[in-house]
Amino acid sequence: MSSIRMLSFRKPSLRKPILRKFLPTLLLPALLTSHSASAELEVSISYLQLQQDTGPVLSNILPESEDSGLRGAELGIDDSNTTGRFLKQKYSLSQFTTDDESEFLATAEEQYKNGQRLFISNAPASTLIALRSQLPDDALLFNSGSPADRLRTENCKGVLHTLASRAMLTDALAQWLKARRLEKVLIITGNQPVDKAYSEAFRRGAKRFGLKIVAEKAWQFDADLRRTAQKEMPLFTQTDEYDVVFIADERGDFGEYVLYNTWYPRPVVGTQGLKPVTWHRVVEQWGAAQLQSRFNDLANRWMTSKDYAAWAAVRSIAEAVTRTSSNNPEILNQYIRSDDFQLAAFKGRKLNYRSWNGQLRQPIPLIHPRSLVSQSPQEGFLHPVTELDTLGFDQRETRCHG
């Protein structure tokens, strides 16, 4: 099943506060004068999404919205046109969604043949690798859908990543645990490949920051725990004493039932409990409340990590277009990967991309469903270039070289 359409957006009212944020009133006459004689610069972006069948979930948690990612890209287009109309820039978005990988790749190829050069992919790692191999080098490709570490350590050529990697997420969590002296960890891993990848990333972070793994347990059950968790979980989590329980359950089969049911009364972290994320609705500092409000007006729901990643991809393109006065993908790619690039992204600092693997450097919020607990990197974790590079794979840890 697939869908494709072109999206257009209303021109925002001059009364909206977002205009005052990006373009102070005193600068508007200068901007209008400096671009009045130039032709309108058109920037077309393609958003491609592969719907994934994750199978039946054993718990009754709320699933992620099917348009997660797309609505973030739409907001990015809206925000870019808010300022772009004064700079004689016009941004448009085409979107294609399918559950068939061959159709996904064929559509991307057809769009390239028709002149499209700017792509945002919300797809698993294997599909993204195939897409990058299929598209010629002059196509600018963003990954807003896969946190897979191998995309940042091996298969990373020619892709920019706006979604945080699993290593970035788990390093952010490991730093917090070390800072709080919660150093003895019980790991519980689900039976899905993504769960094993999440645990592998955490084990790397635990070693890196000096945590001790006292025991590891694999979740092999397929029972509905809604009525039995209080009896089953204490026995399952009985082992040598630990300070914290780390859960790797990305799909949500059992992790929610570990909280408050452990053998020792200890905090739960990972994919449930205290959770590291690229983005969450509880992030409200640094002007983020305004971004959340605009997104809610557009989508009638809260912004997810994939929404934020797609928004950041669109805004990265728009920032590069503004700074280079070009829509040439090769010029945009070169600028985005340069030390001059900076993205204002509501995370407390300007963000940029790692030159060796295309990963967007960014702080990682640590949240529970109703509150922001902390944000990593934690104070005291130092790096010779930027403390943001204490999260995820540093240059010497990868085979990527830009």
Residue 121: φ, ψ to 5°: -110, 130
Chain-centre distance for alpha carbon 344? 15
What is the tens place of the pLDDT at every residue in 13-32? 433 343 333 344 334 333 33
d(CA 312, CA 71): 12
The whole-number pLDDT of residue 253 equals 87
Q: Report the chain's C-alpha Rg in angstroms.
A: 22
Domain count for the chain: 2
The whole-number pLDDT of residue 222 equals 72
In a domain, residue 377? The reply is: no
**Which among 222, 257, 276 is the end of a domain?**
276
The whole-number pLDDT of residue 17 equals 41
Domain co-membership, 32 together with 117? yes
Domain co-membership, 107 together with 95? yes
Give the residue among 49, 55, 75, 96 at the shortest CA–CA distance from 312.
75
In a domain, residue 247? The reply is: yes
Domain co-membership, 337 together with 356? yes
Domain co-membership, 81 together with 19? yes
Amino acid (one-letter) located at 205: G
In a domain, residue 48? The reply is: yes
Judged by average pLDDT, the poorest of 51-60, 65-74, 304-313, 393-402 is 51-60
Domain co-membership, 271 together with 286? no
In a domain, residue 233? The reply is: yes
Domain co-membership, 94 together with 116? yes
What is the tens place of the pLDDT at every residue in 257-275? 999 999 999 999 999 999 9
The whole-number pLDDT of residue 7 equals 52
The whole-number pLDDT of residue 58 equals 59
Judged by average pLDDT, the poorest of 6-10, 49-53, 97-101, 112-116 is 6-10
For the domain that residue 228 is a member of, what is the CATH number?
A: 3.40.50.2300
Report CA torsion sign: 124, 128, 129, 130. Answer: positive
Once rounded to an integer, what is the mean pLDDT over residues 30-49?
A: 72
| Cα distances (angstroms) measured from residue 222 to each of 183, 189, 234, 260 | 30, 14, 17, 20
The whole-number pLDDT of residue 19 equals 36
d(CA 371, CA 317): 31
Q: Is 62 or 132 the better-scoring residue by pLDDT?
A: 132
Task: Identify the H or E element spanning 229.
Answer: helix 229-236
**Which among 328, 344, 362 is the end of a domain?**
362
Share of the chain above pLDDT 70, in %: 86
For residue 346, give the 3-state DSSP assignment. Answer: coil
What is the tens place of the pLDDT at every residue in 86-95? 999 999 999 9
Once rounded to an integer, what is the mean pLDDT over residues 153-174?
A: 95
Report yes or no: 198 and 271 within 8 Å, Cβ to Cβ: yes
For residue 113, give the 3-state DSSP assignment. Answer: helix
Whether residue 57 is predicted with pLDDT greater than 90 in this model: the reply is no
Identify the bridge partners of residue 269 per DSSP, sorted by sequence position. 246, 274
Once rounded to an integer, what is the mean pLDDT over residues 139-164?
A: 95
What is the tens place of the pLDDT at every residue in 339-363? 999 999 999 999 999 999 999 999 9
Chain-centre distance for alpha carbon 88? 30
Range of the domain at 12: 2-164+279-362
In a domain, residue 394? The reply is: no
Once rounded to an integer, what is the mean pLDDT over residues 180-194?
A: 97
Domain co-membership, 213 together with 347? no
Domain co-membership, 328 together with 299? yes
Q: Is 151 or 400 the better-scoring residue by pLDDT?
A: 151
Domain co-membership, 148 together with 189? no
Domain co-membership, 13 together with 93? yes
- 199-210 b/e (C-beta count within 10 Å ≥ 16 → b): bbbbbbbbebbe
The whole-number pLDDT of residue 59 equals 60
What is the tens place of the pLDDT at every residue in 366-389? 999 999 999 999 999 999 999 999
The DSSP letter of residue 385 is S
Domain co-membership, 239 together with 335? no
Cα Dmax for the chain: 74
Domain co-membership, 6 together with 125? yes
In a domain, residue 128? The reply is: yes
**Which among 276, 294, 322 is the end of a domain?**
276
- Environment class of 6 (CB within 10 Å of its CB; exposed 0-12, middle 13-18, buried 19+): exposed
Torsion of CA 108, 112, 114, 118, to 10 degrees: 100
